[in-house]
Homo-oligomer: A and B are copies of this chain.
Amino acid sequence: MPLSPDQLAEIAAQRATPKPTLRAVSEGMEAHLYHAHEVLDHGFVRVIDYMGDDAAIVQAARVSYGAGTKHVSNDEGLIRYLMRHWHSTPFEMCEIKLHVKLPVFVARQWIRHRTANVNEYSARYSILDREFYIPAPDQLAAQSVVNNQGRGAVLEGAEAARVLEMLKRDSNTAYDHYEAMLSETQADGSPQQGLARELARMNLPANIYTQWYWKVDLHNLFHFLRLRADPHAQYEIRVYADVICKVVADWVPIAFAAFEDYRMGGATLSSKAIDCVRRMLKGEQVTQETSGMSKGEWREFIGVVNDPA
């Protein structure tokens, strides 16, 4: 994903000129601004702007005149309380704006998170670049045999090679034809009209890269991260979520730690599951048959209460 010299120069120019502000500043976030964090083979995540920090969450929860409390420990206790009790509105008081480059099939999953603002690069108006996601060999996985929407083992030698060959060749053919349809010159140099961009784009496959500006508040971002940084999420969106997790940890470290403890590392137990825990703690030997749970629920429950170590 080499950015062009022009793009690098624009980014450098933005990073070269700090200006004074009276707003809340997150030191950890300033270090991320504009830098492109590489994701997949041509994608990236860049922080364009942010609003607020850990103290801003506290300040909003208290509707206060100043900027949070004097003591970080108080802020931390309150933030953990808010997270634990699903008080979401103070987290909505922080906002982040990202520039993301990503394959179209990832963009289609991402956009289902509706409470966000989006400006996508327009293929009606502009011409897309010849950049396609081709999975690394260790991500070229077979269909899962236990989960209808997951992956299983990594493909082996000849099959993997065949798949990669098809993906690469079809991408390139599609792009060659995209260019040929758009062109006002035929292959032999004679003139032609050139197909409308809004039509030509339909020939491009879902692994082509697009890009957008995406702006979201911290509460909705946490919701996105909980679903997309989860092991059940598709790998190609999870790697974006993982990068954003690192950025958020630097931006609002206290809120992110609470999110990790209560959401990412937490689990929701049903009333049946709570009942089983209580019986087990009293020494009862509970099985799936006596649990009242379906097989799927029981398997998930055991995954929570059993120490993997």
Contact = CB atoms under 8 A, between A and B. Distances in A.
Contact of A149 (B111, B149, B198, B296): B198
A150 B195 CA distance: 11
A198 B234 contact: yes
A63 to B, nearest CB: 4
Instruction: State the 8 A-B residue pairs at the shortest beta-carbon distance, nearest first.
Output: A265-B271, A10-B66, A18-B20, A142-B193, A92-B117, A202-B207, A151-B196, A114-B114
Given A117-B89, A227-B86, A261-B272, A18 B11 contact: no
Given A19-B20, A163-B181, A270-B266, A203 B207 contact: yes
B274 A277 contact: no
Interface string A58-69: 011101111100
Interface string A8-31: 001101110111111111000010
A61 B34 CA distance: 17
A264 to B, nearest CB: 8
Nearest to A187: B162
A192 interface: yes
B205 A203 contact: yes
Contacts of A61: 119
A70 to B, nearest CB: 11
Given A23-B21, A119-B90, A151 B265 contact: no
Nearest to A279: B307
A37 interface: no
Contact of A95 (B18, B186, B215, B269): B215
Nearest to A17: B22
A219 to B, nearest CB: 8
Nearest to A174: B170
Copies of this chain:
4
Nearest to A223: B86
Contacts of A112: 89, 111, 118
Given A95-B95, A163-B181, 16 more contacts: A10-B65, A15-B22, A51-B95, A77-B294, A80-B294, A86-B227, A89-B112, A104-B108, A141-B195, A141-B199, A206-B206, A265-B274, A266-B270, A277-B277, A277-B304, A281-B281
Contact of A199 (B81, B135, B180, B211): B135
Interface string A190-232: 0011111111011111110001110101000000000100000
Contacts of A67: 10, 13-14
A49 B23 contact: yes
B199 A103 contact: no
Given A205-B204, A265-B271, A97 B93 contact: yes
